[in-house]
Structure 1
Amino acid sequence: MALLHARNLIAFPGGDNASDTLIGSVHLNRTALELWNFTLYSNGTLSNGSKCILTFAPHAPAYLFPNGSFTNDTSCYSPVNPIGTRAGIAIGYAVVFGVALVLTLVNLNKHGSLHLPAEKRFYPIGRRWQWYWASWACATAMVSLLTCVDVDRYYLPELPLVLTNFFWYLMQMGAMAIVWEAVRHWGSWMERQFIDPDPFALRDDDWRSKIEFWLPLVFYLFLWLNFFMVIPRNWGDIEHQRYPEQIINEAMPTATDTRFKVAAFFLVVCWLITVFSLRHSIKHYCPRNRGIINRIVGFIRYMPARFMLVVPLAAVVPAYQALIAWEFPYSPLNLEGDQAAIYAGGYTPTLLILFIQVLFGFFRPNEDLELQHQRRVRGQELDREMGIVHKPSWWRRMNGEYIPANESMRERLDRNVREINGNRAPAAPADAPATNPVELGPVSPTRPTAKQYTGRSGTRRREREAEIAAGMLFPDASERSAAAMARRHAELMMDGPPSRAPFGGGSTGSTNQPPQQIRSMLDV
C-alpha cells in the first residue's frame, strides 16, 4: 500500500553520460527532467507537483520528450496493485447487501400494497418509508463497498478513498432512518388498531398527538445536521496519505476534526429520539403499568421482538462514528485502518438491521389484510353476543338465494317480483312477447290505473303517487286491489235507503219502488 512506500527524495541515477539517467531500466533525458522540475522518490514515482508517473516495470515510461511529456507513461493514481484484504472482504459484503436489497423490494411490495381505501389520518407512504430507507442503505453500502476495490488497487490514494467514505456516511444515515421509521410506523399501526373499533377513542388535539407530530420533524432535523456536518466539506486532505509525514500532518487532523465529532453527537440525539418514540407508543397504546419498576418491565414486555434487536444495533452506529472521530487507526478514512474494526463496526450493524427487518417483514401480514381480519373477528363476537347465527355459504345456493355475478338489474327485479307473487311468473297478455318484462314495461291501455290527485293535501298526493307507482310495477296486485275495492263498494251500497237524487233532479228512482212499510218507531 501507499503507506508502505516511504516517500523520500533520491538523486537521479547515473546514465551513459551527464545528460542521461537510468530509471527503471529506461534511459531518460536528465536535462529535460531537471528543466521541468521532476523529482525522483524512493516509492518509485517521478513527480513535478502537477504530474506523477510510475517508474518501475512494467509501467515505466518509454521515452521523455524535451517538452516534458512521456511516451507510454502510467499515472501514480492508477489501479495497478492486486486486490487486497480490504477489497476482498468488501466484495463479499457487497453481494450480501445486494441480496438484502432484493428482499427489501419484496417486502416493500408486500407491505406497501393497499387493500383498503386510503385514510387521511394514515397515509400509505407512512408504512413504506422504512423500506425506502432500507433500499437507500443497501444501495449506498454497495457503492461504498465496490469502491473499496479501487482503494486497494490504486498505487497512491485518490478519489476512490473519498467515494467509499462518502457513501459509507450516507449508509449510516440510512441505518438510523430505518430504525426510526420502523419504530414510528409501529406506533402509527398501534394507533390505527386502537381507533378502528371506535374512531372517537383518541383525540386529535391532545398532547399525545402533538408529540407524534413534532417527533419526526425533530429527528430528521438532527439527521440532516449530521449530513451537513459530514458531507459538504473539503475531502481533498483525506487523500493525502502517501507517506507517514503527510498522514500525520494532513489526513489525521482532517479525519478527527470538530465537525466529525459534532456529527456523531447528532446521531446520538437521533437514537435517543427513537427510544423516546418507542416509549411513547408503548405508554399510550399498550396496557399501562404503575411504578418505576413496573414501567420498565412493561416497556420490555410490550416492545416488539425485532426492536429488541435493531434498537441496540442502531446504537452501535453513532458509537462507532464517535470512536473514529477520536481514534484514527480504526477509521475507514484511514487507508491502512484496522479492517476488523471497519467491517465489524461500520458495515455489520447496518447489514444485521436490514436482515432483521426483512425476516420479520416476511412473517408479518399486510396491515390492511390484518385490519380486515380484526374486523371480521369483532363482527363474529358481536353476532355471538346477540345470538345471530349466520347460515353457511351453501345454504343460499340450496334455497335459491344465490345471486349470479352477471345478473342485470332487470333480472334482479323480475326475480324479486316472482318472490312476492309466490315465485310465480307474471301472467303474460295475449299480444305480449314471451319474455314479459316486469319493470319499465309498457302499460296496457285496458289496465286500470289510479287517477292523478289534484287537491291540496300533500299527504294525499304522496299516497296517490305511491299507488300509481305500485300499479305500474305490480299490475296484478293493482288490478286485484281495484276489484276488491269495487266489490266492497257494491256491498256497502246493497243495504240501507237508496241514495238521494241531486237537488232539482228527477225523482224516478223513489217513485218506481214500492212504499216503505213502517213496522216500528225504529224504522222512522
Structure 2
Amino acid sequence: MGDEWLYSDGGRQRFNATTLQQYGYIIYPNNTISNYSSCVLAFGGYIPTVISNGSWYNSTGCDTPVRPIRTRGTIGIVTAIIFGIALVLSLVALNKHGKSFLPAEKRFRLVGRRWPWYWCIITASVGLVSGFTAVDVDRVWVLGTAAIFHFIFYLVTLPTCLAAVWEMTRNWASFEERKGVDEDFTMYRQDDLRSKIEFYEPLIFYLFNFLSFFLSILRAWNPIARSNSHVITDARFQASSVFSFLAWGTIVVAHFIARHYYRPKSIPWKIPVCLVLILIRIAFNIGSAFNYSISQLRYQATPAYIYCLGYLPVLLTLSVILYSGWKEPNEDQELLRLRNTRNETLDQEMSAMPDRKSIGKSGTERKPQTDRARRASHAPAHDYWGDGDHREPV
C-alpha cells in the first residue's frame, strides 16, 4: 500500500504515485513537484492536491514570492530609485541639448546630439525595471519569471550604456568638426580619409554592440533561471562579453582618431572617466562568463558582486554623462558665443588699424600740411601772355 504514495516535506504530505508518474511529475529534494511545465510547492502550509487529470488545486506556484525581502531586494529598490532619478535628469538634459537655436544644417543634424540622451533614457529605464524585479528574486522558492526579467534587464544595461558613451564621444568629435567648419568652411572636406573613417566607425561599433546584445539576451532563459552552470558559462555568453570589449575598443580608437584630426586644445574629462568606469563592468562580464563562481546569473551569487561590479559602474557612467550635460552649454548657443567672440576680436583689430587715406606709399603715416607748405610744393605757373603778371595758383 505504501508503494501507491509519494511523500514530500519529510513525509508530512503524500500524493498519489500513479497520477504523478502518469503526468511526469517528480518530487524534488527542495519539496517542489514539477514536470517542467508546471511547478508547485509542497511543504509547510502549502498543501496542493493533484486530481486524476493531472491538474492541481489549492496549489502555489514555485515562482510565487513566499519569503521575506532580503539584501538583494532592498539594494534593488535603492538602485531602482537612483535609476529613476537618472531617468528624470536624462529627460532634462535632452530638453536642454536637444533644442536648436540655429538654422538646420544637413551636415550636422540635430538628432545627432540627441542620441546620447536617448541612450541614457533607455539605460535608466531598463535599470529601473531590473532594480524593482530584483525584489522577488530572493523571495521566490524557485527562480522563475522575476529572476528572468531581473537578469535580462540587468544585462541590457551594458550595451545601452556603451551606446551612450559612444554617442557622447562621437558627438564631441562632431562638435569639434562643426566649430572648425563654422570658422573656415573649407577646413574639413567631406570626401577625404577622415570622413570615410567616421562613416565606418559607427557601423563597426554598433555591429559589435548588437552581437553582444544578441548573444546574451535573445536566447532561452529557463535553464539560466535554474542556475545551470553549463549554460551560464557557455560559448554564447563568453562571445558576448568579448564583443562588448571590442565595442569598447572601437570607442577608444575613434576617440584617438578624432584627437589626431581635430587637434583640440583640451580633452573633456568625461570621455576617459566614462571609458574607465564602463570597462569595470565589461571586465566583470568577461569574468562571469568564464568563471561560474562569480557569475552574476547564479542564484547563490553574492549581491555585492552584481551591485558593486555590475550596477555601480553603469550608474557612475550615467552620472558623469548627466553632470557634464548639466555643466556644458547647448551646442548652438556655444557656437553663437564663439562667433560673437571672433567678431569682437575682428572689430578690435579693425579699430586698431590706421586709416588708409592717412598712410603714404612707403607705409608711413602722412602728416597734415599747412597752406604755405602746399603752395610751396607746387611748381611755378608759366607766363603764357608775357605780361609778367604771374600769380601763384591758389
TM-score > 0.5, shorter chain as reference: yes
Contact 2:4 2:18 (C-alpha < 8 Å) held by counterparts: no
Q: What SS class does the counterpart of residue 36 from structure 1 fall into? A: helix
CA distance in 1, matches of 2:10, 2:165: 59
Q: What runs of 5+ residues in structure 1 fail to find an aligned partner?
A: 1-11, 242-250, 288-300, 390-524
Contact 1:229 1:262 (C-alpha < 8 Å) held by counterparts: yes
Structure 2 counterparts to residues 245-260 of structure 1, below 5 A: 251-260=228-237
Give how far 1:46 is off.
3.4
Picking from 113, 122, 131, the partner of 1:136 is 122
CA distance in 2, matches of 1:359, 1:77: 40
Contact 1:331 1:338 (C-alpha < 8 Å) held by counterparts: no
Give how far 1:203 is off.
1.6
Give how far 1:26 is off.
11
Q: What SS class does the counterpart of residue 100 from structure 2 fall into? A: coil
Which one has a bigger Cα radius of gyration? 1
Q: Find out whether 1:98 has 2:84 as its counterpart.
A: yes
Contact 2:26 2:35 (C-alpha < 8 Å) held by counterparts: yes
CA distance in 1, matches of 2:158, 2:87: 16
Give how far 1:44 is off.
2.4
Contact 1:256 1:326 (C-alpha < 8 Å) held by counterparts: yes
Change (3 A) 1:359 1:157: same
CA distance in 2, matches of 1:25, 1:261: 41
Q: Find out whether 1:363 has 2:340 as its counterpart.
A: no
Q: Which amino acid aligns with 1:150?
A: D
Change (3 A) 1:93 1:28: closer
Superimposed CA distance per residue, residues 152-207 of structure 1 (whole angstroms, 9 cap, x where no aligned partner): 12111122222222112211001111111111110000111111121112222111
Q: What SS class does the counterpart of residue 40 from structure 2 fall into? A: strand
Q: Find out whether 1:115 has 2:104 as its counterpart.
A: no
CA distance in 1, matches of 2:333, 2:114: 16
Q: Find out whether 1:35 has 2:22 as its counterpart.
A: no
Aligned partner of 2:346 in structure 1 is 382
Change (3 A) 1:108 1:253: same
Give how far 1:262 is off.
1.3
Contact 1:84 1:152 (C-alpha < 8 Å) held by counterparts: yes
Q: Find out whether 1:264 has 2:241 as its counterpart.
A: yes
Change (3 A) 1:86 1:280: same
Contact 1:320 1:346 (C-alpha < 8 Å) held by counterparts: yes
% identical aligned pairs: 38
Give how far 1:338 is off.
2.2
Contact 1:53 1:74 (C-alpha < 8 Å) held by counterparts: yes
CA distance in 1, matches of 2:188, 2:19: 83
Picking from 106, 110, 113, the partner of 1:127 is 113
Contact 1:282 1:302 (C-alpha < 8 Å) held by counterparts: no
Q: What SS class does the counterpart of residue 158 from structure 2 fall into? A: helix
Aligned partner of 2:270 in structure 1 is 306
Aligned partner of 1:77 in structure 2 is 63
Contact 1:137 1:174 (C-alpha < 8 Å) held by counterparts: yes
Superimposed CA distance per residue, residues 325-374 of structure 1 (whole angstroms, 9 cap, x where no aligned partner): 11122222101112211111111111001111111111111111111111
Q: Which amino acid aligns with 1:60?
A: I
CA distance in 2, matches of 1:311, 1:238: 30
Aligned partner of 1:277 in structure 2 is 254
RMSD across aligned C-alpha pairs, in angstroms?
2.5
Picking from 305, 319, 326, the partner of 2:290 is 326
Q: What SS class does the counterpart of residue 152 from structure 1 fall into? A: coil
Aligned partner of 1:237 in structure 2 is 223
Change (3 A) 1:275 1:29: closer
Contact 1:329 1:338 (C-alpha < 8 Å) held by counterparts: no
CA distance in 1, matches of 2:81, 2:236: 32
Q: What SS class does the counterpart of residue 33 from structure 2 fall into? A: strand
Q: Which amino acid aligns with 2:158?
A: Q
CA distance in 1, matches of 2:13, 2:239: 52
CA distance in 2, matches of 1:110, 1:138: 18
Change (3 A) 1:144 1:282: same
Q: What SS class does the counterpart of residue 53 from structure 1 fall into? A: strand
Aligned partner of 1:88 in structure 2 is 74
Q: What SS class does the counterpart of residue 210 from structure 1 fall into? A: helix
Q: What runs of 5+ residues in structure 2 fail to find an aligned partner?
A: 354-394
Contact 1:225 1:266 (C-alpha < 8 Å) held by counterparts: yes
CA distance in 2, matches of 1:224, 1:327: 23
Aligned partner of 1:56 in structure 2 is 43
Q: Which amino acid aligns with 1:345?
A: L
Q: What SS class does the counterpart of residue 122 from structure 1 fall into? A: coil
CA distance in 1, matches of 2:214, 2:50: 46
Given the two structures, how large is their TM-score scaled by the length of structure 1?
0.63
Superimposed CA distance per residue, residues 230-280 of structure 1 (whole angstroms, 9 cap, x where no aligned partner): 222222211224xxxxxxxxx111111111111111111111111111111
Higher relative contact order (CA 8 A, sep 6+): 2
Aligned partner of 1:159 in structure 2 is 145
Q: What SS class does the counterpart of residue 335 from structure 2 fall into? A: helix
Q: Which amino acid aligns with 1:351?
A: L
How many aligned positions are there?
350
Q: Which amino acid aligns with 1:385?
A: E
Change (3 A) 1:346 1:22: closer
CA distance in 2, matches of 1:166, 1:29: 37
Q: What SS class does the counterpart of residue 46 from structure 1 fall into? A: strand
